[in-house]
Structure 1
Amino acid sequence: MSRPQHFGWFLARGFGPQGWGYPSLEWDYDWTRPEIYQDAARTLEQAGFDLVIIEDAPSLGSPSTIDLRVRHAFGGPKHDPFLLAPYLFQATRHLGVVPTVNPAAYLPYTAARQFATLQHLSGHRLGLNVVTDTGSARHFSAAPQLGHDEAYDRAEEWLDGIRALWRSWDDGALLADRETDVYADGTRLRAVEHRGEHFDFDGPLNAVPFTDGDPAIVSPGGSGRGLGFAGANSDVQLALAPLNEKSVRDYRARVHDAATESGRRPEDIKILFAIQPVITPSAEEADRIVAASAHPDDAALVQIARKQSSDLETDLTSLDLDRPLDLSVFGAHVSRGSIQRLIGDRGEEAPLRAHLSALARAGRISDRTGFVGTAEEFADLIEELGEWGNDGVLLWGDFHPVTLHRTLDELVPVLRRRGILRREYADGGLQTNLRAF
């Protein structure tokens, strides 16, 4: 039997219009109501998933690109994922729920108290996907926008401060002794006087300690500074990398080295590689989809350009498809990693059409050129990743029932028969289940 791996779902495009732009919209689910998200969470828990990560961006972007981002609902609207989390916890018993949070949007004391409250109410199933997006900074203060590495420095100070507040009740502070009528020993609460570069606040925190660990910290990002942050702080690293043996092993080694440098054990971090598979009923259907993607028409390229324009906050739809892509069109706030994913190894001299065509092109799971294939072929890939030491995968998609069932209906039975996907959860919350194997 194969080694079990951890599975998560990345709620792409966030807490927003589920199914927009697809025929499945005609099911008439109301994305502003909690029911569609609760149904999806129950499905993931039935499937044995460890966690769902809810993507978010608090901003609609720069004023010049707002219309571009909302016209096709690629970049908004998005509601607050932290306020969706209680509904998902109410609908499930074991699934970890991980809203995306930006340190710029939460003062440390308020954040520590709110997160602690939800950690207790959820049975210790809360996670926090800590992102360092700086494009939304103008919504929270008039301070100058931070650079890439400085934003990570702020996130690290923020998280260190929150953890200090969570732990401001020393061992023995909480007594709850009915015989002596003493609830807590105030002499065992620490003041936590924090005076930092980005935040000033005092403790102790007005919330009791956790019994089954802090909320799990999740982080994305593949830059040197991003991996350093993960090594020092994260329980789960959301990984984006080519899924060949060398790339997977190299990426894992970089994260593990960062953990060791921070005095942590490599096994303290679960690395989940993000995959968006297209599960087909037969190999023949997979071949048909791949062949059809090899020659996208201009309409298909414009659709891809719309999504990329939203992600990159740059209107690619106004550019000539047959001219080289001038990288100066991207503002300083645009992630260098996002730009690199667009241009790949084709270089700046390649026309925009070549970049978009490459994104449109699908590949087969069976020959490891892509992620289109049968459930059995996908399970083969997961087993191969396991042989390289992988901890698990993160599947992408919205929360529309059609999306989940199209991906999972055939896949879950195959993964379980092979012993890759859990059948039972451990007691004790998200951290406990992440450490189960």
Structure 2
Amino acid sequence: MSSLTFHWFLPTNGGDGRHVVGGGHGVSAGPSGRPADVPYLGQVARAAEQMGFEGALTPTGAWCEDAWLTTAMLSQVSDRLKFLVAFRPGLVSPFVAAQMAGTFQNLTGQRLLLNVVTGGESAEQRMYGDFLDKDARYERCDEFLTIVRALWRGEEVDLDGKHLQVEAARLNQIPSPAPEIYFGGSSPAAGRVAAKHADVYLTWGEPPAAVAEKIAWIRELAAEEGREIRFGIRMHVINRDTSAEAWAEADRLLANIDPETIKQVQEGLKRSESVGQQRMLALNGGSKDDLVIHPNVWAGVGLVRGGAGTALVGSHEEVADRIQEYADLGISEFVLSAYPHLEGAYWFGEGVLPILAERGVWKHPAPTAVETRIPFQYAGRAAQ
């Protein structure tokens, strides 16, 4: 097994707190306890890079702060952390997007990764002035990434597409290296675009059997394009010294979720056009009952949050075991988060990552930082 890569999350979607902060896919984020401002997000970013996370995902949409501006600011209060910037193709021209990404990459010292989000909610897209339907958005995304990739290679681009047109387009400042493209989606149209353009295909956390099916599907499509793709998974995590402590925290989060809020959010999420979102809803069933969908995999977050709705729950050792189970399927990158994100970065970074390092499946991106780590994960082993 090759070395695994871990990314964290920047909670620009309404802020952070000691409870599940929702939002996404057309539903409100709800109240938080900590604002999504530069001082706090800077703390999260610095904690993540100290603990050994490679990058941090920053979401996109009407429900959160702008990802480009936020991460540009945070790049100045952090040292090494890369930013997995989610953005929607078609809301700006491909040339401008290629230029923005190149500027970010060049001026931050190659700290940009891109999460391309085609957009699963037509109502939200129309807020941005985008009136294409879902299938047309994927057609446009294909054209968009074709142009951007060529510009990053230093080519002069002429394209008269169905949705996008450029003439004699050429970048003067080429990003070196070009940012990697992360791409998710469960629909047939998403699979085709991912196979053609993605460096990393991202899936939300489902039971391993369902994840294995997705990996096989995308691998086959990518092979038809003559390409190989890496795979990543987006989940939350609740790890503690003992399994009992971790599940007690999951129970606490669940107890603080109001049944009326669940009903309202679920009704909103059912209107989502996203196939992946519908798969998330099927895992929790809109009920607080039967939320353990696989050992140490809990679907409670998805009751009130759009998008990623599952969490790894257990002792440090148990969570490490589940990570290796997903890694055995072909997952090499993990995009994780917790409530709150600041403390969660330390729980995972001090509890789980050292175990994976001892097993030889993970290395700290900045090895000198490891010398100051507190290996309290041993407490979790002794108290199984």
Contact conserved, 2:98 with 2:148, CA < 8 A, in 1? yes
**Distance across 2 between alignment mates of 1:359 and 1:97:** 36
Contact conserved, 1:362 with 1:372, CA < 8 A, in 2? no
Q: 2:158 aligns with which of 189, 193, 200?
A: 193
Q: Does 1:31 pair with 2:36?
A: yes
Corresponding residue for residue 157 of structure 1 = 143
Q: Secondary structure at the match of 2:273?
A: coil
Q: Does 1:418 pair with 2:359?
A: yes
Q: Does 1:101 pair with 2:87?
A: yes
Q: CA deviation at 1:398?
A: 6.3
Corresponding residue for residue 390 of structure 1 = 331
Amino acid at match of 2:74: L
Q: 1:374 aligns with which of 311, 315, 323?
A: 315
Amino acid at match of 1:392: E
Corresponding residue for residue 242 of structure 1 = 206
Q: CA deviation at 1:287?
A: 5.4
The alpha-carbon distance between structure 1 residues 95 and 204, as it changes in their structure 2 partners (threshold 3 A), is same
Aligned pairs for 1:27-426 within 5 A: 29-32=34-37, 34-57=38-61, 59=62, 76=63, 78-133=64-119, 134-141=122-129, 145-168=131-154, 190=156, 192-212=157-177, 214-244=178-208, 246-264=209-227, 266=228, 269-286=229-246, 288=248, 300-309=258-267, 312=269, 330=271, 334-344=273-283, 355-357=285-287, 361-362=291-292, 365=295, 371-397=312-338, 400-424=341-365
**Distance across 1 between alignment mates of 2:77 and 2:84:** 15
The alpha-carbon distance between structure 1 residues 304 and 414, as it changes in their structure 2 partners (threshold 3 A), is farther
- Cα deviation, 1:344-367, whole Å, max 9, x if unaligned, reads 5xxxxxxxxx82225773467469
Larger CA Rg, structure 1 vs 2: 1
**Distance across 2 between alignment mates of 1:364 and 1:51:** 27
Q: CA deviation at 1:418?
A: 2.4
Residues paired across the two proteins, number? 346
The alpha-carbon distance between structure 1 residues 20 and 197, as it changes in their structure 2 partners (threshold 3 A), is farther
Normalized against structure 2, the TM-score is what? 0.77
The alpha-carbon distance between structure 1 residues 288 and 86, as it changes in their structure 2 partners (threshold 3 A), is closer
Normalized against structure 1, the TM-score is what? 0.69
Q: CA deviation at 1:206?
A: 4.3
Unmatched tracts of structure 2, length 5 or more: 22-30, 300-310, 368-384
- Cα deviation, 1:404-429, whole Å, max 9, x if unaligned, reads 33444322332323233322359xxx
Amino acid at match of 1:157: E
Contact conserved, 1:276 with 1:396, CA < 8 A, in 2? yes
Q: CA deviation at 1:109?
A: 1.8
Corresponding residue for residue 4 of structure 1 = 3
- Cα deviation, 1:100-155, whole Å, max 9, x if unaligned, reads 111131111211211111111122221221111133332343x6x32322211111
Unmatched tracts of structure 1, length 5 or more: 60-75, 170-189, 315-329, 345-353, 427-437
